[in-house]
Amino acid sequence: MPTLSQLTIRLESLKAALAQAALTVEHADTRVQYRSVEEIRTAIGIVQEEIEQQTGGGIIRSYKITSSKDL
């Protein structure tokens, strides 16, 4: 499993490629050729999920429900 720093570097590389509409992404000693911009967006989502899993992040929702009955 990649480290948090590796995932962060990968995410930044993907975002840079998306901003330039480039289909080739290079990070560390790896080069990946994507077929479409949509495929890069999917990869960004996957990397973001992996980062959230490692950091315990994500969206936490809490709800407080109250009710009263007039008698």
| 71: confidence class by pLDDT, cuts 50, 70, 90 | low
Q: Does the pLDDT of residue 53 top 90, yes or no?
A: no
Res 61: pLDDT:
66
Give residue limits of the domains in the chain: 4-55
Cα 18 to Cα 40: distance, rounded to the nearest angstrom: 7
What digits encode the pLDDT tens for the residues 11-51?
Answer: 999 999 999 988 988 877 888 899 999 999 999 999 999 99
Joined together, the tokens standing for residue 42 give 């999917």
User: pTM (2 decimals)?
Assistant: 0.71
DSSP state of 58: S
Q: Give me 19's structure tokens.
A: 């901003």
Backbone angles phi, psi at 16, to 5 degrees: -65, -40
Stronger pLDDT, 71 or 62, i.e. the higher one: 62
